[in-house]
Protein backbone atom coordinates (compact mmCIF):
# COMPACT_ATOMS: atom_id res chain seq x y z
CA UNK A 1 0.00 0.00 0.00
CA UNK A 2 1.19 3.56 -0.69
CA UNK A 3 2.77 5.20 2.36
CA UNK A 4 1.70 8.85 2.67
CA UNK A 5 4.07 11.01 4.74
CA UNK A 6 1.92 13.74 6.17
CA UNK A 7 1.85 16.82 8.37
CA UNK A 8 -1.18 19.14 8.30
CA UNK A 9 -0.42 21.97 5.85
CA UNK A 10 -1.37 23.23 2.39
CA UNK A 11 0.97 20.99 0.39
CA UNK A 12 0.15 17.70 2.17
CA UNK A 13 -3.55 18.65 2.02
CA UNK A 14 -3.45 18.50 -1.78
CA UNK A 15 -2.36 14.86 -1.63
CA UNK A 16 -4.87 14.10 1.13
CA UNK A 17 -7.61 15.48 -1.13
CA UNK A 18 -6.44 13.37 -4.07
CA UNK A 19 -6.56 10.18 -1.98
CA UNK A 20 -9.99 11.03 -0.64
CA UNK A 21 -11.32 11.92 -4.10
CA UNK A 22 -10.11 8.74 -5.75
CA UNK A 23 -10.38 6.21 -2.94
CA UNK A 24 -6.84 5.00 -3.69
CA UNK A 25 -5.74 3.14 -0.53
CA UNK A 26 -2.93 4.64 1.52
CA UNK A 27 -1.25 4.31 4.88
CA UNK A 28 -0.81 7.58 6.75
CA UNK A 29 2.69 8.11 8.16
CA UNK A 30 2.77 11.22 10.38
CA UNK A 31 5.88 13.40 10.14
CA UNK A 32 5.84 15.95 12.96
CA UNK A 33 7.72 18.88 11.44
CA UNK A 34 7.54 20.92 14.66
CA UNK A 35 9.46 18.11 16.34
CA UNK A 36 11.99 18.13 13.48
CA UNK A 37 11.09 14.68 12.13
CA UNK A 38 11.51 15.99 8.55
CA UNK A 39 15.26 16.11 9.22
CA UNK A 40 15.63 12.48 10.31
CA UNK A 41 17.78 10.35 7.98
CA UNK A 42 14.95 7.83 7.46
CA UNK A 43 12.65 10.60 6.20
CA UNK A 44 15.40 12.23 4.11
CA UNK A 45 15.67 8.87 2.31
CA UNK A 46 12.07 9.42 1.18
CA UNK A 47 12.36 13.18 0.59
CA UNK A 48 15.91 14.56 0.38
CA UNK A 49 14.33 18.04 0.55
CA UNK A 50 13.08 17.31 4.09
CA UNK A 51 9.50 18.52 3.65
CA UNK A 52 6.02 17.03 3.61
CA UNK A 53 4.27 15.58 1.65
CA UNK A 54 6.07 12.58 0.21
CA UNK A 55 4.92 9.09 -0.75
CA UNK A 56 6.53 5.69 -1.00
CA UNK A 57 4.81 3.46 -3.53
CA UNK A 58 6.30 0.03 -2.96
CA UNK A 59 9.86 1.35 -3.03
CA UNK A 60 9.29 4.18 -5.53
CA UNK A 61 9.56 7.47 -3.67
CA UNK A 62 7.86 10.63 -4.92
CA UNK A 63 8.33 14.01 -3.26
CA UNK A 64 6.92 17.50 -3.89
CA UNK A 65 3.15 17.79 -3.86
CA UNK A 66 2.52 18.48 -7.54
CA UNK A 67 4.88 15.68 -8.62
CA UNK A 68 2.90 13.37 -6.32
CA UNK A 69 -0.40 14.51 -7.86
CA UNK A 70 0.92 13.90 -11.38
CA UNK A 71 2.31 10.49 -10.38
CA UNK A 72 -0.88 9.36 -8.64
CA UNK A 73 -3.17 10.59 -11.42
CA UNK A 74 -1.10 8.65 -13.96
CA UNK A 75 -1.01 5.57 -11.75
CA UNK A 76 -4.74 5.60 -11.08
CA UNK A 77 -5.90 6.99 -14.42
CA UNK A 78 -7.95 9.56 -12.50
CA UNK A 79 -8.16 13.36 -12.39
CA UNK A 80 -5.36 13.83 -14.95
CA UNK A 81 -7.45 15.36 -17.74
CA UNK A 82 -7.28 14.13 -21.33
CA UNK A 83 -4.67 14.02 -24.10
CA UNK A 84 -6.22 17.22 -25.47
CA UNK A 85 -5.91 19.05 -22.15
CA UNK A 86 -2.42 17.74 -21.27
CA UNK A 87 -0.60 20.94 -22.32
CA UNK A 88 -2.93 23.06 -20.18
CA UNK A 89 -2.72 20.65 -17.26
CA UNK A 90 1.10 20.65 -17.23
CA UNK A 91 1.22 24.44 -17.58
CA UNK A 92 -1.13 25.06 -14.66
CA UNK A 93 0.54 22.42 -12.49
CA UNK A 94 3.91 24.14 -12.95
CA UNK A 95 2.40 27.61 -12.48
CA UNK A 96 0.95 26.44 -9.17
CA UNK A 97 4.13 24.62 -8.09
CA UNK A 98 6.55 27.43 -8.93
CA UNK A 99 4.30 30.47 -8.42
CA UNK A 100 1.19 30.31 -6.26
CA UNK A 101 2.71 27.88 -3.73
CA UNK A 102 6.13 29.45 -3.07
CA UNK A 103 4.88 33.06 -3.11
CA UNK A 104 2.00 32.19 -0.79
CA UNK A 105 4.37 30.33 1.54
CA UNK A 106 6.85 33.21 1.69
CA UNK A 107 4.00 35.68 2.18
CA UNK A 108 2.82 33.68 5.21
CA UNK A 109 6.38 33.54 6.52
CA UNK A 110 7.11 37.26 6.27
CA UNK A 111 3.66 38.31 7.53
CA UNK A 112 3.34 35.86 10.41
CA UNK A 113 6.57 34.02 11.27
CA UNK A 114 9.58 36.25 10.57
CA UNK A 115 11.29 37.40 13.78
CA UNK A 116 11.29 40.98 12.43
CA UNK A 117 8.77 42.81 10.23
CA UNK A 118 10.42 43.70 6.91
CA UNK A 119 7.94 45.88 4.95
CA UNK A 120 9.77 45.39 1.63
CA UNK A 121 9.58 41.57 1.92
CA UNK A 122 5.95 41.63 3.08
CA UNK A 123 4.98 43.90 0.20
CA UNK A 124 6.93 41.90 -2.40
CA UNK A 125 5.48 38.51 -1.45
CA UNK A 126 1.98 39.80 -0.75
CA UNK A 127 1.84 41.52 -4.15
CA UNK A 128 3.15 38.43 -5.93
CA UNK A 129 0.64 36.20 -4.13
CA UNK A 130 -2.13 38.64 -5.10
CA UNK A 131 -0.89 38.66 -8.69
CA UNK A 132 -1.11 34.86 -8.85
CA UNK A 133 -4.62 35.04 -7.38
CA UNK A 134 -5.41 37.55 -10.13
CA UNK A 135 -4.16 35.25 -12.89
CA UNK A 136 -6.37 32.43 -11.58
CA UNK A 137 -9.32 34.78 -11.09
CA UNK A 138 -9.17 35.96 -14.71
CA UNK A 139 -8.74 32.39 -15.97
CA UNK A 140 -11.77 31.20 -14.00
CA UNK A 141 -14.05 34.07 -15.09
CA UNK A 142 -15.97 31.82 -17.47
CA UNK A 143 -14.85 28.40 -16.36
CA UNK A 144 -15.95 25.84 -13.83
CA UNK A 145 -12.55 24.19 -13.43
CA UNK A 146 -8.95 25.18 -14.13
CA UNK A 147 -8.36 22.72 -16.99
CA UNK A 148 -10.92 21.74 -19.63
CA UNK A 149 -14.44 20.93 -18.49
CA UNK A 150 -13.49 18.56 -15.69
CA UNK A 151 -12.28 18.66 -12.11
CA UNK A 152 -8.60 17.65 -12.13
CA UNK A 153 -5.37 17.61 -10.13
CA UNK A 154 -4.88 21.26 -11.17
CA UNK A 155 -7.94 22.18 -9.06
CA UNK A 156 -6.61 20.08 -6.20
CA UNK A 157 -3.16 21.71 -6.43
CA UNK A 158 -4.67 25.21 -6.37
CA UNK A 159 -7.22 24.40 -3.66
CA UNK A 160 -4.49 23.47 -1.14
CA UNK A 161 -3.17 27.04 -1.12
CA UNK A 162 -6.36 29.03 -1.84
CA UNK A 163 -7.76 27.28 1.25
CA UNK A 164 -5.20 29.36 3.21
CA UNK A 165 -6.16 32.72 1.66
CA UNK A 166 -7.06 34.21 5.07
CA UNK A 167 -3.54 33.52 6.33
CA UNK A 168 -1.76 34.33 3.05
CA UNK A 169 -3.46 37.64 2.15
CA UNK A 170 -5.72 38.40 5.11
CA UNK A 171 -9.20 37.73 6.46
CA UNK A 172 -11.89 38.05 3.76
CA UNK A 173 -9.49 39.11 0.99
CA UNK A 174 -10.40 36.20 -1.27
CA UNK A 175 -13.63 38.14 -1.94
CA UNK A 176 -11.55 40.56 -4.04
CA UNK A 177 -11.19 37.70 -6.54
CA UNK A 178 -14.86 36.74 -7.08
CA UNK A 179 -14.37 34.09 -9.79
CA UNK A 180 -11.64 32.40 -7.78
CA UNK A 181 -13.82 32.59 -4.68
CA UNK A 182 -16.77 30.95 -6.50
CA UNK A 183 -14.45 28.21 -7.75
CA UNK A 184 -13.05 27.75 -4.21
CA UNK A 185 -16.57 27.47 -2.74
CA UNK A 186 -17.50 24.92 -5.43
CA UNK A 187 -14.45 22.72 -4.74
CA UNK A 188 -14.83 23.05 -0.96
CA UNK A 189 -18.34 21.62 -1.13
CA UNK A 190 -17.03 18.31 -2.45
CA UNK A 191 -17.49 15.51 0.13
CA UNK A 192 -13.82 14.51 -0.30
CA UNK A 193 -12.76 17.91 1.06
CA UNK A 194 -14.56 17.25 4.34
CA UNK A 195 -12.87 13.83 4.53
CA UNK A 196 -9.42 15.28 3.71
CA UNK A 197 -9.80 17.91 6.44
CA UNK A 198 -10.07 15.27 9.18
CA UNK A 199 -7.09 13.18 8.06
CA UNK A 200 -4.58 12.84 10.89
CA UNK A 201 -6.91 14.43 13.43
CA UNK A 202 -6.21 11.62 15.86
CA UNK A 203 -2.44 12.19 15.61
CA UNK A 204 -1.04 14.27 18.49
CA UNK A 205 0.95 16.63 16.24
CA UNK A 206 2.82 19.26 18.21
CA UNK A 207 1.17 22.69 17.98
CA UNK A 208 3.37 24.74 20.31
CA UNK A 209 6.01 26.76 18.49
CA UNK A 210 8.70 26.08 21.09
CA UNK A 211 12.45 26.46 20.66
CA UNK A 212 12.84 23.00 19.10
CA UNK A 213 10.08 23.78 16.56
CA UNK A 214 11.67 27.12 15.62
CA UNK A 215 15.02 25.42 15.12
CA UNK A 216 13.42 22.71 12.97
CA UNK A 217 11.40 25.08 10.77
CA UNK A 218 13.65 28.16 10.63
CA UNK A 219 17.24 26.86 10.94
CA UNK A 220 18.55 30.03 9.28
CA UNK A 221 17.76 31.88 12.51
CA UNK A 222 20.10 29.58 14.44
CA UNK A 223 23.40 29.92 12.57
CA UNK A 224 25.25 27.74 15.07
CA UNK A 225 23.10 24.80 13.95
CA UNK A 226 22.39 25.71 10.33
CA UNK A 227 24.78 24.04 7.96
CA UNK A 228 22.45 24.76 4.99
CA UNK A 229 23.25 21.25 3.87
CA UNK A 230 20.14 19.66 5.28
CA UNK A 231 22.13 17.78 7.87
CA UNK A 232 21.62 20.07 10.88
Ligand X SMILES: N[C@@H](CCC(=O)N[C@@H](CS)C(=O)NCC(=O)O)C(=O)O
Quick note: the x/- pattern for ligand X over 67-96, rule CB under 6 A, is ------------------------------
**Closer residue to ligand X in complex, CB, 189/220:** 220
In order of 44, 205, 221, the CA distances from 56 in angstroms are 12, 21, 32
99 binds ligand X (CB under 6 A): no
Stretch that binds ligand X, among 20-28, 45-53, 75-83, 182-190 (CB under 6 A): 45-53
Give per-residue burial for 40-78: e unless 16+ CB within 10 Å, then b: eeebeebbeebbbbbbbbeeeebbbbbebbbbbbeeeee
**Closer residue to ligand X in complex, CB, 82/91:** 91
33 binds ligand X (CB under 6 A): yes
Query: Binding ligand X by CB under 6 A: which of 9, 99, 148, 200?
Result: 9
In order of 43, 84, 178, 207, the CA distances from 172 in angstroms are 37, 36, 11, 25
65 binds ligand X (CB under 6 A): yes
Query: Binding ligand X by CB under 6 A: which of 5, 37, 51, 196?
Result: 51
Q: How far is the CB of 150 from ligand X (least distance, A)?
A: 23
**Closer residue to ligand X in complex, CB, 135/217:** 217
Give the CA angle between residues 86, 183, 156 to the nearest 5°.
Answer: 50
- Strands 26-30 and 54-57: what pairing? unpaired
Binding residues for ligand X (CB under 6 A): 7, 9-12, 33, 38, 51-53, 64-65, 101, 217
Amino acid sequence: MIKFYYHPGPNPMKVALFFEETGLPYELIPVDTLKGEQHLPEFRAINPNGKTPAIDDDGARVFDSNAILLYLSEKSGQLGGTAETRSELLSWMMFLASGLGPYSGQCVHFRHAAPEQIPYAVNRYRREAQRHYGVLNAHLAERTYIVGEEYSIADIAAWGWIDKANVVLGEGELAEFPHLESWYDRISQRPAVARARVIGQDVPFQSEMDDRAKRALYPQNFPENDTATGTH
